[in-house]
Amino acid sequence: MISIKTLGQFIIEKQADFPYAKGELSRLLRDIGIAAKIVNREVNKAGLVDILGSIGDSTNVFGENQKKLDVFADEQFIAALKDGGECCFVASEEQEEGILLTDTGVSKDAKYIVCIDPLDGSSNIDVNVSVGTIFSIYRRISPLGESLTEQDLLQNGLKQVAAGYIIYGSSTMLVYTTGKGVNGFTLDPSIGEFCLSNPNMKIPSSGKIYSINEGNYSKFPNGIKQYIKYCQEEDVASNRPYTSRYIGSMVADIHRNLLMGGIFIYPQTAGQPYGKLRLMYECNPIAFIIEQAGGKASTGTERILEIEPQELHQRVPAIVGSSEMVDKVLEFIAQS
């Protein structure tokens, strides 16, 4: 018999790693897993129901066109966190303001703050390319019963107690870390459970894949341009040229590179001098996962996890992946 360990069983086993949590963090991760199953169901039948396409003229806080599944995913995760009672505040990419949950009876003693991108890569929805969810969990600082402060909401990435992503693709996977390694779970639709499939995930120290939107090449900083040229040069000793693979969904690109080795780059450009990706919903959780898997994550000038956030929707550049490849990019940036 093959032993199958579900996400719920795994979380309970690891609960001893967090004696201060008394089961709350485990229940919070369970709530996220339940919402992910609901979103997965809708993503996988999207072409059969009226859930593809955009919602009229609706845009999110960033002025980006909202897809129907964006809104559906946002609603499902917020509802799951609200009903679960372990989350006191939700910051979502789709919401201009964070959502305070402590005024609801079930969440009045909640100890955790969740930052979430409900559906990363949603521009790919209509063409059936992998999309995902990214989440980050922080422990509140202010005492229970008191109002949340900016100190609670704007913690740096090193304060994360857990982070993860769900990728909705040919199979649906949930990958997460609590600061003690990275583990991956694949959804078994026959039993409706996430089952441990990739224990103790480690990203190779190097790879042959670089992921970047080369259509913006002319707008990139010089150091990034030089690195791209380096990737394209022939050199037997370093197995170059590398392969360019850019999906346009951060979760999908990161997941592939985590398994196979590689680097994901989303730099600042002339039009977006501070970068495009969001620190709290995308870069911090992905950086936490990649570092726990043995990789590195930088803006090009500083470690992502050490950035002190100034606002919930803050944007930063991102250079994330295999440690040797990230180091090489930083060399080119330093020399430029």
Dump pLDDT digits (tens) for 295-323: 999 999 999 999 999 998 999 999 999 99
Cβ(203)–Cβ(258) below 8 Å: yes
Sign of CA dihedral 154, 156, 160, 163: positive
In whole angstroms, give the CA distance from residue 94 to residue 75: 10
- Tell me: the pLDDT tens digits for 166-212? 998 888 999 999 999 999 999 998 888 999 999 999 999 999 999 99
E-strand ranges in 74-192 read 87-92, 99-100, 112-120, 131-139, 160-168, 172-177, 182-188
- pLDDT tens digits along 38-94: 988 887 765 544 544 455 555 544 444 446 788 888 999 999 998 888 999 999 988
Alpha-carbon distances of 56 from 53, 74, 319, rounded to whole Å:
9, 17, 34
Mean confidence (pLDDT) of the chain: 87
- Which domains does the chain carry? 7-198 (3.30.540.10), 209-335 (3.40.190.80)
pTM over 0.95: no
CA 247 to chain centroid, in Å, comes to 15
